Amino acid sequence: MRVLAIDVGSSSIKAAWCKNGKVKTIQDVDTPSMAEARSVEIDAVKLIAALEKAIGEVMKHHKHVDAIAIDTLCPGIGLADASGTPLTNLITHQDRRSFSQAAEIEKHFGRDEHQRLIGNRPIPGGIGSTSLLWLKQNRLDLWKKKPRVIQPTTLLVHHLTGKWCIDVSQAAFTGLYDTPGLTGWSSEVLGFLGIQQNQLPALLWADEVAGTLKTDIAARLGLPEGLPVLPGIVDTSAAVMATDCRPGRLVHSSGSSDVLALVVDTYKPADHVLWRPLGTGKHVKPRWLAVSTMAAGGSSIKWVRDEFFRDISHKQFWKLLDKVIAKIEARESRRIPKNNSEPEVSFSPLLAGDRTSLEEKQGEFTGLTLATKREDMLTAVVRALTVDSRRRIESLQAVHRIEPEIFTMGGEQILARHLHRHWPEPKRWKFTPLEGEAMPGLGKLAQLALGK
């Protein structure tokens, strides 16, 4: 089966042509994102153009395709009119403008009741209801028009098919959906926000077909008219779909953000964990993902590189990072004795805040002296990320026993290998890279949805 797989991230869109689950061709197009102070958005109009460009580039090399499957970052909350024209940009999970709105939502419902209804606390930016309340309070002109509420998949699938839909993995992080019970939109939260059911997309399982490619889109992109299009799924869920999806299966994505996604068969609220459905339900039994995220993982390393090591090349920096990691591990194994006269610098790894907190947290260095070197600061960052990674694994182990084979993906594998060596019982784990990352999972979804 031939699948056009589309992966929409915060920095780029990747389009791949996959045959029988194997990635044959892949193209990368920049995502038009914007960050300013506490706001992080993606230009919705330009995102549609980037989608078409990515599809066009990859299909230059192929004549035939049987389905289109899309995964995207989540959330990416926005508003659109009835025709599908975006009225706002997409407010991403990295956005931090809605702390007061998050507090207002939790105060109205109470922490336990909101978690019962939605499955998560109203995390600023990370749960879409906080961004929707910000839009209601700051863009009343748009709100009065009763616009449609969209996520990236909703926008892109509507552009391709004319259908308004969303899968349950994306719906969960809108903050409007019953994640624990999978029963549908929460009338209580919709009532509080003043949102009507007809402003929301239809709920679908990720392993079914949303619609078929519109005639004009097919002609413009050189694709077959009537091509089946799936409703979309969250990017991490797509990666998990490339595994056997058994309870206890863990996928570790080490990139700008560091994400641990654990498959479980029963929802169980827990601190420091975000919950969402895997997304399937038509052909694959519904399950949940317990997700633990370090918002600034690899991006913390990149920040140190950009701010303190501009005078050396990227290649030289990665060699230095290797040496720093080797020195940390040698010292921990006592191959290098600790010198108490050396400055002890500490770092709080919260440059992008805390994805599970309603408090506005920030990163910081402590223990700086006139003797502190920039290598000391890099060392402190690596140590802090290591400690946080171990803590997050321990929190997930409290939710469900983790299978020994861990599937890995992402562009920060030097860092990931170091983190893995510091997980509890390090000899227990076997690490298997996901070939093609999320793309094979999208191919599997398409096969399920089309019954092939």
pLDDT in tens, 169-205: 999 999 999 999 999 999 999 999 999 999 999 999 9
SS3 per residue for 9-26: CCCEEEEEEEECCEEEEE
Can you give the CATH number for the domain in which 363 is found?
A: 3.30.420.40
Does the structure show a pLDDT above 80 at 2?
yes
Cα gap 419→381, rounded to integer Å = 12
Give a yes or no: residue 444 inside a domain: yes
Give a yes or no: residue 18 inside a domain: yes
In which residue are the tokens 């092939």 written? 452
Are 377 and 316 within one domain? yes
Give a yes or no: residue 176 inside a domain: yes
Average per-residue pLDDT for the chain = 92
Are 348 and 396 within one domain? yes
Are 444 and 423 within one domain? no
User: Residue 294 burial by CB count (10 A; 0-12/13-18/19+): exposed, middle or buried?
Assistant: buried
Residue 292 confidence (pLDDT): 95
Helix (H, G, I), strand (E, B) or coil at 45: helix
Give residue-wise pLDDT tens across range 203-236. 999 999 999 999 999 999 989 989 999 999 999 9
Give a yes or no: residue 288 inside a domain: no
Report in angstroms the alpha-carbon separations of 54 from 47, 51, 59, 446: 10, 5, 9, 19
Cα gap 154→202, rounded to integer Å = 9
Residue 124 confidence (pLDDT): 94
Residue 354 confidence (pLDDT): 84
Are 382 and 445 within one domain? no
Neighbours of 414 (CB within 10 A): 14
Residue 32 confidence (pLDDT): 66
Cα gap 6→70, rounded to integer Å = 5
Give residue-wise pLDDT tens across range 42-64. 999 999 999 999 999 998 888 89
Does the structure show a pLDDT above 60 at 335?
no
Cα gap 135→124, rounded to integer Å = 13
Does the structure show a pLDDT above 70 at 343?
no
Are 230 and 330 within one domain? no
Q: How many domains does the chain have?
A: 2
pLDDT band at 272 (very low <50, low <70, confident <90, very high): confident
Does the structure show a pLDDT above 80 at 276?
yes
Residues of the chain with pLDDT > 70, as a percent, come to 97
Contact 290, 270 (CB under 8 A): yes
Are 303 and 174 within one domain? no
Q: Tell me the residue range of the domain where 384 lies.
A: 298-433
**What secondary structure letter does DSSP report for 200?**
S
Residues of the chain with pLDDT > 90, as a percent, come to 79
Give residue-wise pLDDT tens across range 287-332. 999 999 998 899 999 999 999 999 999 999 999 999 999 999 888 7
Does the structure show a pLDDT above 80 at 125?
yes
Residue 20 confidence (pLDDT): 85
Residue 53 confidence (pLDDT): 93
Are 440 and 384 within one domain? no
Report in angstroms the alpha-carbon separations of 128 from 82, 152, 189, 202, 245: 20, 12, 12, 17, 26
In which residue are the tokens 């910000």 written? 134
Give a yes or no: residue 254 inside a domain: no
Give a yes or no: residue 338 inside a domain: yes
Does the structure show a pLDDT above 90 at 24?
no
Residue 339 confidence (pLDDT): 59
CA angle 368, 293, 290 (to 5 degrees): 150
Are 96 and 167 within one domain? yes
The kind and range of the H/E element at 307 are helix 298-308
Cα gap 284→241, rounded to integer Å = 10
Helix axes 374-397, 413-420, angle to 10 degrees: 60
Question: Pairing mode, if any, of strands 165-167 and 202-204?
Answer: parallel
Strand order in the sheet with 274-277: 274-277, 288-294, 258-264, 250-254, 405-409, 430-433
Question: Which residue has better confidence, 205 or 411?
Answer: 205
Does the structure show a pLDDT above 60 at 336?
no
Question: Which residue has better confidence, 351 or 201?
Answer: 201
Q: What are phi and psi of 323, to 5 degrees?
A: -65, -40
Identity of the residue numbered 356: T
DSSP character string of 138-199: H-HHHHTT-PEEE-HHHHHHHHHHS--EEEHHHHHTTT-B-TTT---B-HHHHHHHT--GGG
pLDDT band at 445 (very low <50, low <70, confident <90, very high): very high
**What secondary structure letter does DSSP report for 401?**
P
Residue 355 confidence (pLDDT): 81
Does the structure show a pLDDT above 70 at 16?
yes
Are 233 and 326 within one domain? no
Residue 399 confidence (pLDDT): 94
Are 26 and 75 within one domain? yes
Residue 338 confidence (pLDDT): 59
Quick one: tokens of 350? 């919260």
Residue 423 confidence (pLDDT): 96
pTM comes to 0.92
Cα gap 21→17, rounded to integer Å = 10
Question: Which residue has better confidence, 360 or 431?
Answer: 431
272-277 average pLDDT score:
93
327-356 average pLDDT score:
78
Question: Which residue has better confidence, 58 or 452?
Answer: 58
Cα gap 173→162, rounded to integer Å = 23
Does the structure show a pLDDT above 80 at 248?
yes
pLDDT band at 143 (very low <50, low <70, confident <90, very high): very high
DSSP character string of 241-254: HTS---TT-EEEEE
Helix (H, G, I), strand (E, B) or coil at 255: coil
Give a yes or no: residue 27 inside a domain: yes
Neighbours of 84 (CB within 10 A): 15
Are 427 and 441 within one domain? no
Are 40 and 156 within one domain? yes
Give a yes or no: residue 205 inside a domain: yes
